[in-house]
Amino acid sequence: MENNYKIILASKSPRRAEILKMIKVNFKVAPSKIKEKINPRIEQNKIAINISKAKAIAISHKYPNDVIIGADTIVVFNEKIFGKPKDINESKKMLKALSGNSHNVITGVTIMNKKLGILKTFSEITEVFVQKIPTKKIEYYIKNFNTLDKAGSYGIQEWFSIWIEKINGCYYNVMGLPASKFYLNLDEFKNTIKS
């Protein structure tokens, strides 16, 4: 299957698209419209992997010859999973919980080709330490930025970054795709397709 395939990102996330462009991956976007269901009874890294897999599989039916990338990011604080908030009130609750504490950001990734029956999954965890944020600053953030399309209600790459004290792990993982681990896995996947 010599390079006569396209790489399809099954996500409408502008952050993931930005990361793929940064690492020089040629791709097109075909957002998956699956409902992201979080099952709290399974391991946290598997939650993100399962959703990423569901996204990739949904798009693979339309593009069976191509390489599909599915990804999902969740925030975990005190064993509680923060996905995308459903409204502004939930967004405020999440940000108040994260304020002055550390949490984990987990991204699950699936790379697959339906025609060849090859599916590869992996996940990455980054620990994020957030400074204490005054309530007025949380309100300012919610009012001036879109917090509803992000796991945990924040984007590390925007204004919220001023409240990040430090991170342990991959910065790009917090944005939505672990750049280094993803690139190595994609390379390996391409070699599998060639063989």
Q: Which two tokens stand for residue 82?
A: 């923060």
- State yes or no: is 72 an active-site residue: yes
Classify 32 in phi/psi space as left (phi over 0), alpha (psi -120 to 50) or beta.
beta
4, 122, 152 from 49: Cα distances, Å: 27, 7, 17
Q: Maximum Cα–Cα distance for the chain, whole Å?
A: 57
Residue-wise burial string across 127-139, b where 16 or more C-beta atoms lie within 10 A, e elsewhere: ebebeebeeebbe
**What sections of the chain are H helices per DSSP?**
14-22, 44-60, 88-98, 135-144, 171-175, 179-194
Residue 97 burial (CB count, 10 A): 18
> Which one is catalytic: 72, 87, 149, 187?
72
User: Catalytic amino acids?
Assistant: 72
